[in-house]
Amino acid sequence: MSVARERLSTAARRAAGGAAGVGARLRAVGFARRRRRLSKRYLLGSGLEIGALHRPLAVARGVKVTYVDRMDVAGLRAHYPELGDAQLVHVDAIDNGEALAGQRDASADFVIANHFLEHSEDPIGTIESHLRVIRPGGVLYLAVPDRRRTFDSDREPTPLDHVIRDHREGPAWSRTLHQREWAELVEKVPPGELEDRVRWLEEHDYSIHFHVWGREDFRALLEHARDVQGLPFTLEELVQNDHEFIAILRRT
Ligand SMILES: C[S@@+](CC[C@H](N)C(=O)[O-])C[C@H]1O[C@@H](n2cnc3c(N)ncnc32)[C@H](O)[C@@H]1O
């Protein structure tokens, strides 16, 4: 759903043709260029990309990336039928990207997680796991969709207190709330069909956007993670990139 709707909005802009089509193409070029510019500036050596799917981050020549996802390519094709025959990245390691239990401490120069953190049920715990596998001085590259500019625009930003509670108590308490909010405000499921849809999302472990942020909401979350939770990083960049923002964290 998430992947489909972002692609549909691009396709719709393209379908408009003429000046609007040219504008959309220029925007897409600018979007990719800004991702690449930060990648070339900050990513060196070898590391991981979690959930690259159909849009792996471009990296400089000589940089080595191991691709991690929660399922293999066949599983991803079944989960995201809307991607059709788009090329998907080969999955080198199947692992839960929230914990990265298969990765050793301080073993990576970088971790890339683009359009992944909003799928995570415990974002603070996820950032902590990513920092665990990055060596001191290494980089966490996070691109996160900006809720104001995507299909999440009818949802309220996730309050910081909510994310803190997910981290402290575990996220099970809020799972169904998120699935209902997703079905209602993103998928626009009619009230009479809502409970069936929520059950389907749960049974299929469907990868929804559990939490949503604008750039400044996300800054507050990062500052809390660093200053109150004590996660070891400095914030090098937090920049808008069209319908997403990109945060560069350096492991201290
Ligand atoms: C929306 S796609 C992101 C695609 C691409 N990175 C981008 O920038 O558009 C989310 C990806 O994260 C993966 N994913 C979701 N939850 C995961 C988890 N717990 N562990 C590992 N991968 C996960 C999905 O399978 C999918 O490949």
Distance from residue 141's CA to the centre of ligand 1 (Å): 14
pLDDT at position 21: 85
Q: Give the per-residue pLDDT at 1.
A: 55
**What residue's CA is closest to ligand 1, atom 16?**
119
pLDDT of 128 reads 98
CA distance 53 to 115: 10
Query: Residue 36 C-alpha to ligand 1 middle, in angstroms?
Result: 19
- Ligand 1 pocket list (CB less than 6 A): 2-3, 50-53, 55, 69-70, 76, 96-98, 114-116, 119, 143, 207
Number of domains present in the structure of the chain: 1
CA 18 to ligand 1 centroid distance, Å: 33
Of the candidates 31, 229, 21, 67, the one whose C-alpha atom is nearest the C-alpha of residue 146 is 31
What CATH number did the domain enclosing 25 receive?
3.40.50.150
- Say if CB 213 and CB 244 are below 8 A apart: no
Q: What is the pLDDT of residue 18?
A: 52
Q: Tokens in use for 231? A: 């996660």
Ligand 1 mean position, distance from CA 192 (Å): 30
Give the pLDDT confidence score for residue 19 in this predicted structure: 59
Contact 214, 153 (CB under 8 A): no
Looking at residue 137, what is its pLDDT?
98
Ligand 1 center to 17 CA (angstroms)? 31
Atom of ligand 1 nearest to the CA of 76: 25
Tell me the C-alpha distance between 152 and 86, whole Å.
24
Domain range enclosing 96: 2-251
pLDDT confidence of residue 3: 66
**Mean pLDDT for each 10-residue chunk of the chain (252 residues)?**
49 46 89 97 98 98 98 96 96 98 98 98 98 98 98 98 98 97 98 97 96 98 98 98 98 98
